[in-house]
């Protein structure tokens, strides 16, 4: 009954249009009343404890790094590198979108930001070249959700903090699955490009390729610094966020000179606003997590899952279907914050590696970003490309299906995650 009270109250509040952070807060108060708790001080204490967490310092710095990268011209140079190198292949602009999405994923960690940047630059070019706009938009959307999987990943930071899991291991474990997601998109796009006989663009001269790589060198260096520093143990994820922000600001100000001093206030304000939204979600979700634990909801859910607890693979399949259903109705960040404290006790009880499960979890909730009715990334494509949701959904579904296949392959073959993770870590 406690599970029903929590889920029903949350769904009702979301259905009437209440913002998710306030819905979590009110839902927590309802659950507190249901449990008979009467201690207002514990509300503020748990919300304070949720924000007062050192690893969460990585969030504002990675947010700022993303703003500096887009404003400083790093994103545009990465797209130009991909365009000169693979733009001449049949359907070349689609491959450009995929490769650029993978590289940008290793820079910012935000699906919405990466998708918006790619769509603003590539969608008009693909339309002009005769590509089907909804299919092109669907490809860009599917490429954009690689960002939360490949490090640095803000959702992985939130999962690591909520579940008390090593963020560095999560980062290292996300590299191979993120690349596999990109490979699946390449396979689908190759089939699509050959089927429709998309025109071939002229090959760029080698001199232009080398020039593009030279100009984008400083942008390409950042993921090597971040991932290499984490791999070699030179710094923690929080320190990596600070380095990424400082480096991208330096490149934008001094090397590319596309960020001016007067732009800094606007960039810092934008990243601060986004950070405030995330941190308020963290505080309210921490309150809900405390009440979920007090109400013994994880144990009740474990009782419901007893028929599949004997098999790790079957249990993970069941949880993936549950998360996929939740992800279609809720945005990525609140899903991670709400579901992690509920599922973590079950994962530990079943002796499943929380790092491995975390990667599957993040991939799953990222897929939710391109599924209606919420589909945050789909909405970005609709706004940027001036297309209806129906058209974008029709364009994205082959790529969505390919990424779902990758997710379930990772469930069946855990070594696809665990072996590369051990090598990188």
Residue that wins the pLDDT comparison between 124 and 296: 124
Residue 59, CB half-sphere, CA atoms under 13 Å: how many? Answer: 25
* Kind and range of the H or E run holding 247: helix 237-250
Give residue-wise pLDDT tens across range 124-140.
Answer: 888 887 788 889 899 99
Contacts of 207 by beta carbon, 8 Å cutoff, 6+ apart: none
What pLDDT sits at residue 71? 84
- Of the candidates 357, 365, 254, the one whose C-alpha atom is nearest the C-alpha of residue 315 is 357
What pLDDT sits at residue 1? 63
* Domain-embedded: residue 47: yes
> What does the pLDDT average to over 36-63?
77
235/243 Cα distance (integer angstroms): 9
124/105 Cα distance (integer angstroms): 22
> What does the pLDDT average to over 359-386?
86
What is the average pLDDT value for the chain, to the nearest integer? 84
What pLDDT sits at residue 140? 92
Are the C-beta atoms of 158 and 362 separated by less than 8 Å? no
- Encode 27-43: b = buried (16+ Cβ within 10 Å), e = exposed: bbbbbbeeeeeeeeeeb
What pLDDT sits at residue 60? 86
* Domain-embedded: residue 410: yes
- The vertex-419 CA angle with 157 and 180, nearest 5°, equals 70
* Domain-embedded: residue 393: yes
* Domain-embedded: residue 5: no
**Position 299 pLDDT exceeds 80:** no
* Domain-embedded: residue 3: no
Q: Which tokens sit at 129?
A: 């070249």
Are the C-beta atoms of 79 and 121 separated by less than 8 Å? yes
Give residue-wise pLDDT tens across range 164-207.
Answer: 898 989 999 999 999 999 999 999 998 888 777 776 777 778 78
* pLDDT above 90 coverage of the chain, percent: 22
**Position 49 pLDDT exceeds 90:** no
57/100 Cα distance (integer angstroms): 27
What pLDDT sits at residue 14? 74
Number of separate domains in the chain: 1
> What does the pLDDT average to over 249-258?
90
Location of structure tokens 């030179």: 234
* Domain-embedded: residue 19: no
What pLDDT sits at residue 199? 65
Q: Which tokens sit at 117?
A: 């940047």
Domain of residue 72, residue span: 39-424
**Position 104 pLDDT exceeds 90:** no
Top-ranked range on mean pLDDT: pick from 74-83, 84-93, 222-231, 345-354:
345-354
Are the C-beta atoms of 293 and 299 separated by less than 8 Å? no
98/246 Cα distance (integer angstroms): 27
Neighbours of 273 (CB within 10 A): 10
* Domain-embedded: residue 302: yes
**Position 366 pLDDT exceeds 90:** yes
pTM of the model: 0.86
* Domain-embedded: residue 420: yes
**What percent of the chain is helix, strand and coil (3-state, nearest 5)?**
80, 0, 20
Are the C-beta atoms of 398 and 138 separated by less than 8 Å? yes
**Position 425 pLDDT exceeds 70:** no
* pLDDT above 70 coverage of the chain, percent: 97
């Amino acid at each position: 009954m406690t599970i029903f009270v929590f889920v029903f109250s949350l769904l009702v509040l979301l259905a009437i249009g209440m913002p998710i952070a306030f819905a979590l807060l009110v839902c927590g108060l309802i659950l507190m009343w249901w449990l008979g708790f009467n201690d207002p001080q514990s509300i503020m204490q748990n919300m304070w404890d949720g924000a007062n967490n050192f690893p969460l310092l990585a969030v504002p710095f990675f947010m700022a790094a993303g703003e500096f990268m887009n404003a400083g011209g790093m994103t545009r140079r990465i797209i130009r590198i991909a365009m000169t190198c693979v733009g001449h292949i049949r359907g070349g602009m689609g491959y450009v979108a995929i490769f650029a999405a993978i590289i940008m994923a290793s820079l910012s960690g935000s699906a919405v930001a990466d998708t918006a940047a790619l769509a603003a630059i590539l969608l008009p070019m693909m339309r002009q070249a005769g590509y089907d706009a909804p299919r092109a938009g669907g490809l860009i959307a599917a490429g954009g959700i690689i960002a939360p999987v490949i490090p640095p990943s803000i959702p992985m930071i939130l999962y690591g903090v909520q579940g008390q899991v090593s963020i560095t291991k999560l980062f290292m474990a996300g590299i191979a699955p993120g690349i596999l997601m990109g490979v699946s998109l390449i396979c689908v796009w190759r089939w699509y490009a050959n089927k429709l006989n998309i025109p071939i663009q002229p090959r760029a001269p080698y001199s232009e390729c080398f020039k593009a790589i030279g100009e984008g060198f400083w942008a390409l260096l950042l993921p090597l610094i971040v991932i290499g520093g984490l791999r070699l143990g030179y710094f923690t994820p929080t320190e990596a966020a600070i380095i990424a922000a400082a480096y991208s600001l330096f490149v934008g100000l001094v090397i590319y000179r596309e960020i001016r001093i007067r732009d800094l206030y606007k960039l810092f304000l934008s990243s601060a606003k986004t950070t405030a939204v995330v941190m308020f979600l963290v505080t309210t979700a921490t309150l809900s997590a405390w009440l979920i634990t007090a109400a013994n909801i994880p144990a009740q859910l474990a009782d419901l899952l007893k028929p599949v607890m004997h098999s790790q693979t079957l249990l993970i399949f069941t949880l993936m279907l549950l998360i996929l259903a939740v992800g279609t109705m809720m945005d990525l960040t609140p899903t991670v914050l709400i579901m992690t404290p509920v599922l973590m006790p079950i994962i530990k009880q079943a002796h499943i590696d929380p790092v491995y499960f975390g990667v599957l979890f993040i991939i799953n909730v990222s897929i939710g970003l391109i599924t209606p009715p919420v589909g945050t990334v789909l909405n970005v494509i609709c706004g940027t490309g001036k297309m209806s949701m129906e058209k974008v959904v029709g364009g994205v579904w082959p790529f969505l299906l390919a990424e779902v296949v990758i997710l379930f392959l990772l469930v069946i073959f855990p070594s696809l995650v665990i072996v590369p993770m051990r090598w990188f870590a």
